Amino acid sequence: MPVTGPTAIVSGLRRATRESVSGLPREFWWLWTSTLVNRLGAFVATFMALYLTMDRGYSASYAGLVVSLHGLGGVVSSLVAGVMTDRLGRRPTMLIAQTSTAASVALLGFMHDPLAIAGVAFLVGMTSNASRPAVQAMMADIVRPEDRVRAFSLNYWAINLGFAISSAGAGFVAEYSYLAGFLGEALLTFACAVVVFLKLPESRPERVKVREEGAAEKSVVPDVGMGAVLRDGRFMSVVGLSFLVSLIFMQGYVALPVAMGTDGFTSADYGLAIAVNGVLIVVMQIPVTRFIEHRDPRRLLILSSLLAGYGFGLTAFADSIAVYALTVCVWSMAEIVNAPTQTGLVVRLSPVHGRGRYQGMYTLSWAASALVAPLVGGFVIDHFGAVWLWGACAVLGTVAGLGYWLLMRGLGEEKGEGEGQGEVVVGAGVEESGEKESSPVVPAVVVPSPISPSLGD
């Protein structure tokens, strides 16, 4: 007879967990560990405004300026780090970014002059965002195509788990000493660099060079410059749609607390409502990914865009904490579906030797939305009211869903190169911006990847 009851549930959970984490290379788990440790130290981004207003006594306007400069640093570094990832390599870029972040965060804790604080905050924004294109490119290098959605989902889960733990712990640290928080983040970030240095070999695919008689060696694959990225119409459309969707998500941290405050709710009420987002991601990310990882990415992106837009649209009808929490549930599910699916799509559209630049441009869409969202949200609320903002979110979600539907017609019929073979295909299906993983397979030179995507430990 089949086993039922608690034993069956526990057995099912164990099997689901084992299937969720199996088949990924050892190097991925070291990269995952580095991500988790890094997010455990996310003190500056969380407590910057409180530090400047409550500990240093500066005005809210000055705090907003510094936070914006921190975000602007992320915008600048997105493209620079993408180029570094392709030219220097994934590992050197991560080491430079993480050691620089550790140094700049520690330095920020000792700054007292307003100009010095603003300048170092900009530097922290640059360095702390610089490792993202390299991490995502390395993940694409070492994980088999069929496992990438699952890998990106696990990494996103680590980001949110680390952030949830650090937010609670850092709050207690801040009550004791903000300087201790800065130094703690610096120490944890440096620990990430140590993990990368000791455990992660370079994963950048090697270029195959040929020598013609009487001529110097030249690469089979052409260089992928930023111009090629900008001319890649389909990819840049994905970046634009990503910007629209991230603009919606950012309102949960920008406009939602303002709107709840206007309705008479306290900061504690907002904290309770927004906590639903973190809890849902930690609890649901892995099981939802198991459900979506082999499904059509077009439908998932359309669905997540609509859920995001209408989830925020429902906020117009919220009149209690319970209803606000319900709307957070809706758009949190959109976030759970969107994050790994869209990152996987970016990898699929990226040339093997241009992954850093492509990931840098994709990262730019989120960094730019972090700058624009406060301006747009504040303007709409001040001049038209929060109801109009939530309605605009619903419209943006609909536009993004329609955009994904129009953009990716026929994409699902194309098959990636070397899928499941653990190899980097060089010179295959070269288009204007390089070789695409989604291009039909043609005769090519096959080079073993520097890191073999063998099964786990």
Say what the pLDDT of residue 334 is. 94
Query: Does residue 206 have a pLDDT over 80?
Result: no
Q: Which residues of 187-205 are buried (b: 16+ CB within 10 A; e: fewer)?
A: ebbbbbbebbeeebeebbb
Q: Give the 3-state secondary structure of residue 3.
A: coil
Average pLDDT over every residue of 366-387: 84
Closest to 386 (Cα-Cα) out of 310, 333, 318, 437: 318
Residue that is written with structure tokens 């990716």 in the block: 408
Residue 218, SS3 per DSSP: strand
pLDDT at 273: 85
Kindly tell me the burial class for residue 411, based on how many C-beta atoms sit within 10 Å of its own C-beta (0-12, 13-18, 19 or more): middle
| More confident of the two residues 353 and 98 | 98
User: Is the pLDDT at 414 greater than 70, yes or no?
Assistant: no
Q: What is the value of pTM for the model shown?
A: 0.70
pLDDT above 90: residue 240: yes
How do 430-431 and 423-426 pair as beta strands?
unpaired
Residues contacting 108, CB < 8 A, separation 6+: 44, 117, 120, 121, 124, 182
Give the Å distances, CA to CA, from 259 to 23, 70, 380: 45, 24, 11
Cβ contacts of residue 432 below 8 Å, gap of 6+? 228, 231, 232
Q: Which amino acid is at 455?
A: L
| pLDDT on residue 455 | 27
pLDDT score, position 425? 35
Percent of the chain with pLDDT over 70: 80
